[in-house]
Amino acid sequence: MKLRELYTILKDVLKEASESPGSEALSILSKVTSQTRERLLMNFEEEISEKVCQVAISLAKKRASGYPLQYITERCYFYGLELHVCEGVFVPRIETEILVDLALELIEERRFKVVADIGTGTGCIAIAIALRSEGEVFATDVSEKALEVAKRNVERYRARVQLLKGAYLTPLLPVLSDVQLIVSNPPYVPTGAKLPLDVLREPHEALFAGEDGLEFYRNFFSDPSLLTRKTIIMEMSPEQEDPLRALLKDLGTITFFKDQFNRTRFFRLDVA
């Protein structure tokens, strides 16, 4: 079978499950043939072995069942970076790139030298910041698997990121007095929310945060004395603006920011 014919089959398998079946078919072909998408298009008349065809069709069916494409290809893209990802680790979203923009603007404006990323996952936020600033970056996660993936990505880009294991501020306590800026894309989805099948395949501890989605924030800000004179930038859900304003109003000055789709998606808290 030729690559072109296999591509047509994969696209047909994916058409009901994907908004971009052609692009996803190319991603799967790239995975099974170890060729770039560009080279695949140049070699579309190339003959492919039956074994490769079977693997590709099997992966396409797996994707069509609701399995995340990024877990199949073991790749995701964030802030111009190609990152390794695998099952059990949260897949970065394009909206979160704005969080990096906000952090970098503040680092330059206020000359921050020490930054911490809480719940780093693939390491995407920490790596993007480290590669575009001159300070020290710490990144934490409770998941051993996430830290293994982050380590691989940090090493690939030779990023100045120190990885630590633990929840909330605990792993940062020895250096917390030096940390000036804390960033995070935490879990903020209410436990009863209905999510797409592929999202539900991601680690639930990286998605859900209690009945109202605010559990992470309550725990993180439970001891404000640890955050005195620090700046925190976090991602949130658009409908959480009022609850977060109420939760954090006595801690300092809070400012909200929108994402690329004009939805309130981030807040910055300058702790008094």
pLDDT tens-digit map of 207-261 = 999 999 999 999 999 999 999 999 999 999 999 999 999 999 999 999 999 999 9
My answer on whether 104 and 59 are in the same domain is: no
Residue 72 lies in a domain: no
Last residue of a domain, one of 65, 96, 111: 65
Mean pLDDT of the chain: 96
Mean pLDDT of 52-67: 96
Indicate the pTM of the whole model: 0.94
CA distance 153 to 148: 9
Say how many domains are in the chain: 2
Residue 140 lies in a domain: yes
My answer on whether 129 and 211 are in the same domain is: yes
Q: Which of the following is catalytic: 90, 216, 221, 266?
A: 90
Q: Which of the following is catalytic: 68, 92, 185, 187?
A: 185
My answer on whether 61 and 95 are in the same domain is: no
My answer on whether 145 and 223 are in the same domain is: yes
Residue 99 lies in a domain: yes
My answer on whether 154 and 214 are in the same domain is: yes
CA distance 183 to 116: 6
My answer on whether 103 and 165 are in the same domain is: yes
Q: Which of the following is catalytic: 78, 186, 216, 267?
A: 186
Q: Residue 210 sits in a domain of what CATH number?
A: 3.40.50.150
Last residue of a domain, one of 34, 65, 96: 65
pLDDT at 43: 87
My answer on whether 46 and 110 are in the same domain is: no
- Domain housing 30: 3-65
My answer on whether 47 and 142 are in the same domain is: no
Q: Is residue 90 annotated as a catalytic residue, yes or no?
A: yes
Residue 70 lies in a domain: no
Q: Is residue 138 annotated as a catalytic residue, yes or no?
A: no
- Residue corresponding to tokens 């605010």: 214
pLDDT tens-digit map of 122-155 = 999 999 999 999 999 999 999 999 999 999 999 9
Spacing of C-alpha 261 from chain mean position: 17
pLDDT at 190: 97
Residue 18 lies in a domain: yes
170 pLDDT tier (thresholds 50, 70, 90): very high
Q: Would you say 135 and 114 are in contact if contact means Cβ atoms under 8 Å apart?
A: yes
Residue 71 lies in a domain: no
pLDDT at 176: 97
